[in-house]
Amino acid sequence: MKVRHFSIARHLSALLGALILLPLAAAPASALDTFFVGPRALGMAGANVASVNDTTAQYYNPAAFGFFGCRDEKGEPILCDNNDVGRKDWGIDAGAGAGYRLHNKFGEYLDELTAIDYQLLSANGIQSESDLVDLINLVHSLSGLDQPGNAITADANAGVGVRIGHFAIGARGYAQASGVVVDLDQANLGLATSTNLAADIASVPITGYTADGVLTFFTPQQATDIQNALVASGATGVDAADAVDRLDFLAAQQGSDPALAAQIATLLTEVSAGTGTLQDNSTTVLLSGFGLAEVPLSYGYALNDHWSVGGNVKVMTGRVYGNQVLVFAEDSGDILMKTDENYEETLNFGIDLGLMGRYKMVNFGLVARNINAPRFDGPTVVTLLPDGTIKTTRFDDVTLDPQVAAGVAFIPLKTLTLEVDLDLTQNETTLQEYKTQNLSLGLEWDAFRFLALRGGIYRNLIESDIDWVYTAGLGLNLWAVRLDVAGAFSDQQEEFDGEDLPKEVRVAAQLSVDF
């Protein structure tokens, strides 16, 4: 085997790190998730560890660089060069991708909450059926947001890479953010003008309601607790019983989640106590995120025709983001825009290692990222609450724990690849207690080396909130220039910002010059 080595002529300028915005996590400490880097990989559901063929090998497997530009002594393709990477001498790739995951019903609850004119409700009390519906939706949405696992996670990545022979240098950015409702304020749920909440509720005509005393949503004990709270606040027994019957009817009519009945009942007792108004409510969304910009220098070395090793040394700048926003002062779209307002920036370095093997029609790959576990400092955020008190939150430092992934690719033709990848580690995310460990299955058919068609499926084996995610992509090869695009979506849907959206969506695009 004849191996040609090349040196890098110059460094690329640093790429601006991708910045993402979004909500949810029970606490802000975590490591970085795995990413779908490049449209070829995304189109194949992330299955690229054993068959990567461009500068995204810096992420998927730097050992691939050892096989680039390798031919036999006669300059012909090596027999086990299944995907013909020996023809590649140098190239440039520039691409970006983004995606989100909707966990459970966070968006639905937040939208339900922000649709309420809580200032009007708090100031005027219960005067109509719509006010009573708002009250039911208020306690329902707060009860739902307080449940663990209701979240949204968003991420983005972008990069530029140059490879020359067995070397590569790049500038890449990765970011992820999440948020969670913390410190549910149950003390300030009262209505300012209401001196007898039960009487107010009992006086409101409700469409389709007939007093029958039959409970359809609350249990008898929950109904008794609400009734006792109303009586304790000054209501008569008759008004309290009538109010509970109406609340039960509307809760069922509005489609409230029966699993939240106990929490809804608790919050209704707090509303009846009226110790503070909604305008004073300090229920808070805690936002956390992590952004990483890195400049990796990569090298791969072919031990022989069949095996190659490689690695990256990366200069890394990490930003740990943290913020707090008041639920009753934001809507779901605005909350997303607050993630990047506070951060702490740290400089560090990282090391990745890769191994790749190839035999007739079969490739093997193994990659270990951030084996030195680089650490980045978290910020301290100060928030002024409605009552004038100051709340200080210290966001934890972020450590990038090592990630290990393996893949096997079946390549019966140079234009046809089928690959299966598996994350061998459970990878943390910015959503605390939420981890990913993906199983990915992908296919690529590069028809006539002109139009590449890709498809695949992947699933997180650790969590059950999102099922299989489907991917598709295509690449258009115009001699030396190639344009690739890809997308991914879950067939499950969830509500966010007033729209029914797939629970997981991803997109990616890349422009390449390849020789």
**CA–CA separation, 336 and 338 (whole Å):** 6
Tell me if 171 is assigned to some domain.
yes
Local structure of 236: helix, strand or coil: coil
Helix (H, G, I), strand (E, B) or coil at 204: coil
Q: Are residues 94 and 223 in the same domain?
A: no
Pairing, β 481-490 against β 493-496: unpaired
450 and 489 co-located in one domain: yes
> Same domain, yes or no, for 367 and 466?
yes
Chosen domain end from 211, 240, 273: 273
Sorting pLDDT into bands at 50, 70 and 90, what band is 56? very high
8 A C-beta contact, residue 184 and residue 28: no
| Mean pLDDT over each residue of the chain, to the nearest integer | 85
Region of poorest pLDDT, from 62-71, 121-130, 150-159, 425-434: 121-130
Domain ranges, residue 80 = 2-104+147-185+281-514
CA angle (515, 304, 415) in 5-degree steps: 45
Among 26-35, 268-277, 317-326, which stretch is predicted with the lowest mean pLDDT? 26-35
Q: How would residue 169 be classed by pLDDT, with cut points 50, 70 and 90?
A: very high
Q: Is residue 49 part of a domain?
A: yes
> Residue 2 to residues 70, 355, 356: CA-CA distances in angstroms?
6, 20, 18
User: Does residue 57 come out as left (phi exceeding 0), alpha (psi in the -120 to 50 range) or beta?
Assistant: alpha
Q: Give yes or no for residue 490 having a pLDDT over 60.
A: yes
On whether residue 190 sits in a domain, the answer given is: no
β partners of residue 380? 394
Same domain, 453 and 337: yes
Residues 299 and 158 in one domain: yes
Q: Please give the C-alpha separations between residue 146 and each of 186, 315, 385, in angstroms, as whole numbers.
A: 11, 40, 19
Residue pLDDT, tens place only, 237-282: 898 899 999 999 999 999 888 888 888 888 877 776 655 677 777 7
Distance from C-alpha of 54 to C-alpha of 498, rounded to nearest angstrom? 40
- Averaged pLDDT for residues 223-233: 87
- Is residue 256 located within the same domain as residue 405? no
Per residue in 130-167, pLDDT (tens digit) is: 988 888 888 888 888 877 778 788 899 999 999 999 99
Given a cut of 80, whether residue 53 has pLDDT beyond it is yes
Same structural domain for residues 309 and 336?
yes
Beta strand 398-399 pairing with 390-394: unpaired
Each residue of 378-394: pLDDT tens digit?
888 777 777 778 878 77
Task: State how many domains the chain has.
Answer: 2
Contact 127, 471 (CB under 8 A): no
* 416 or 21, which is more confident: 416
Strand (E) or helix (H) holding 181? strand 167-182
The residue from 255, 273, 291 where one domain ends is 273
Counts for the chain of helices (H) and strands (E), in that order? 10, 24
Closest to 57 (Cα-Cα) out of 88, 18, 79, 78: 88
Q: What percent of the chain has pLDDT over 90?
A: 50
Same domain, 222 and 311: no
Give the pLDDT of residue 309.
Answer: 98
User: Does residue 324 lie within any of the structural domains?
Assistant: yes
> Does the pLDDT value for residue 18 go beyond 70?
no
**pLDDT greater at residue 37 or residue 138:** 37
Domain boundary among 254, 273, 292: 273
Q: Is the pLDDT of residue 331 over 60?
A: no
Whole-number Å distance between alpha carbons of 226 and 264: 10
